[in-house]
């Protein structure tokens, strides 16, 4: 039997809560995969001739451009980020190039470099 003293001093074990990491501070001009948002020209979002998948792939390219207008993500990364099949991504990249949204530069021994068209917001 527990004494009155031990009952009064009893405190249930409190589960330690995980420390929540505070939101990263944004500094002006920092965009891309490590930032909290991606800067995308409104013309892309408003284009009625582009499919949703084309817009998603193009937005993923903008995400990797770090607001510099060029990027070189691997197709495997685009596939993981967009949820779109690899062969479909290749077709979309070809279509985006034919519509002058991107310009593709093949680099031997490296991933392909994509220059994004600058439309302004």
The CATH number of whichever domain residue 88 belongs to comes to 1.10.10.10
Position 57 in a domain: yes
Question: pTM for this structure?
Answer: 0.69
Specify the higher pLDDT residue, 81 or 109: 81
Query: Does residue 121 belong to any structural domain of this protein?
Result: yes
Domain holding 51, by residue range, is 39-121
Q: So what's the pLDDT on residue 31?
A: 56
pLDDT tens-digit readout, 26-70: 444 455 556 678 888 999 999 999 999 999 999 999 999 988 899
CA–CA dist 63, 45 (Å, integer):
14
The answer to the question of residue 56 being in a domain is yes
Q: Give buried/exposed letters for 72-111 (b at 16+ CB in 10 A, else e).
A: ebebeebbebbebeeeebeebbebbeeeebbeeeeeeeee
Number of domains in the chain: 1
């Amino acid at each position: 039997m527990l004494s009155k003293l031990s009952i009064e001093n009893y405190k249930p074990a409190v589960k330690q809560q995980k420390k929540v990491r505070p939101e990263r501070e944004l500094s002006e001009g920092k965009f891309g995969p490590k930032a909290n948002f991606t800067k995308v020209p409104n013309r892309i979002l408003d284009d009625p001739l582009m499919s949703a998948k084309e817009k998603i792939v193009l937005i993923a390219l903008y995400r990797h451009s770090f607001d510099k207008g060029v990027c070189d993500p691997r197709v495997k990364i685009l596939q993981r980020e967009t949820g779109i099949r690899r062969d479909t991504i290749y077709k979309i990249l070809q279509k985006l190039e034919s519509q002058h949204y991107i310009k593709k530069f093949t680099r031997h021994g490296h991933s392909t470099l994509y220059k994004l068209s600058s439309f302004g917001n």
